[in-house]
Amino acid sequence: MLQFDVVTLFPKMFDAITGSGITGRARERKAYQFLPWNPRDFAANTHRTVDDRPYGGGPGMVMMVEPLEKAVCAARQRQLSAGVRRPRVIYLSPQGQLLKHEKVMSLAAEQGIVLLAGRYEGVDERLIERQIDEEISIGDFVMSGGEIAAMALMDAVIRQLPGVLGDAESAAQDSFVGGLLDCPHYTRPEVYDGAAVPPVLMSGNHADIARWRLKQSLGRTQQRRPDVLAERERQRGISTEERALLDDYLAEDAKAQGAAK
């Protein structure tokens, strides 16, 4: 069972992920264990102070090293006591490595993860040097704290754990799994306000459906995230069939755009 410990000033925020939806049900089924740690519980004074003004001046406050280190160490020790050989400590930070599917899959294979959700202007650099294994970012933007980023990481990892999704194929067909965006999806009714489901999806021909879905994934990735397609081509190449499907998609799209003018 994957162990998740989170160091956060706002433990109640995590009720949203641990008590709802797929991730809530996964916790009930013991696919993972979750425990929050509030650094205020490790503060050195009666005011439970965890932040102070930055040396050198400047705006805002910085989270202090001592209460954070004590909280991280308590979380790590709990995981060690639970049988985790080496808990991985991650700081959610805009300065970190961008979270991608490959990293999610590697984290899903871990035994235990300790997440640090910072606040204010950041955390004392000495805490990062002493306790953090890696920094991870969920995007090139700044939020009020690391809690939402931590929940995003948890959600992405938990859905990859064995038995969490009702259909094992769901995870296998997610966006980015094959280095591409997902294809379009449709359900009933067959026609809605004049817009019909693509006929190939109604054909029952699984080979044709698979080719159509691959073509749509290739085309959508080229149009919406060409950087993702370029990275996929760099890492694993693009087959002759895939190139033909992509060219076909782009030609059909150009024709449709021209007809719409």
Give the domain-ending residue among 124, 158, 192.
Answer: 158
Q: How far is CA 21 from the centre of its chain?
A: 16
Q: Domain check: are 144 and 61 in the same one? A: yes
Flag whether 92 is in a domain: yes
The pTM of the full predicted model, rounded to 2 decimals, is 0.89
The band of 168, judged by pLDDT with boundaries at 50, 70 and 90, is low
Can you give the pLDDT at residue 177? 72
**Whole-number pLDDT of residue 173:** 57
Whether 54 sits among the annotated catalytic residues: the reply is: no
What amino acid occupies position 37? W
109: domain CATH number is 3.40.1280.10
Position 207 in a domain: yes
Q: Which of 35, 32, 6 is nearest to 161 (CA)?
A: 32
Quickly list DSSP for 19-86: SSHHHHHHHHTTSEEEEEE-GGGG-SSTT---EEPPTT--SS-EE-HHHHHHHHHHHHHHHHHTT-SS
Domain end: 158, 189, 214, which one?
158
Q: Out of 27, 88, 119, 159, pick the active-site residue.
A: 159
The one catalytic residue in 66, 135, 174, 248 is 174
Residue 69 annotated to the active site = no
Token pair listed for 173? 């067909």
pLDDT, tens digit (0-9, with 9 covering 90-100), for 26-41: 999 999 999 999 999 9
User: Which residues, other chains included, contact 84 with Cβ-Cβ below 8 Å and sequence gap of 6+?
Assistant: 3, 111, 112
Task: Select which of 110, 121, 135, 182 is catalytic.
Answer: 121
Establish whether 94 is a catalytic residue.
yes
What pLDDT was estimated at residue 166? 75
User: Is the confidence at residue 259, as pLDDT, over 90?
Assistant: no
Mean pLDDT of the 99-103 span: 95
The H-assigned helical ranges of the chain are 15-18, 21-28, 65-81, 101-108, 125-131, 147-158, 168-172, 206-224, 226-236, 240-260
Number of independent structural domains in the chain? 2
- Both 139 and 13 in one domain: the answer is yes
Q: Is the confidence at residue 172, as pLDDT, over 60?
A: no
Q: Which domain holds residue 92?
A: 2-158
| pLDDT, mean of residues 111-129 | 97
pLDDT average, residue stretch 236-252? 97
pLDDT category at 167 given cuts 50, 70, 90 is: low
- Same domain, yes or no, for 94 and 189? no
**121 belongs to the catalytic site:** yes
Q: Same domain, yes or no, for 44 and 130?
A: yes
Candidates 94, 155, 182, 211; catalytic one: 94
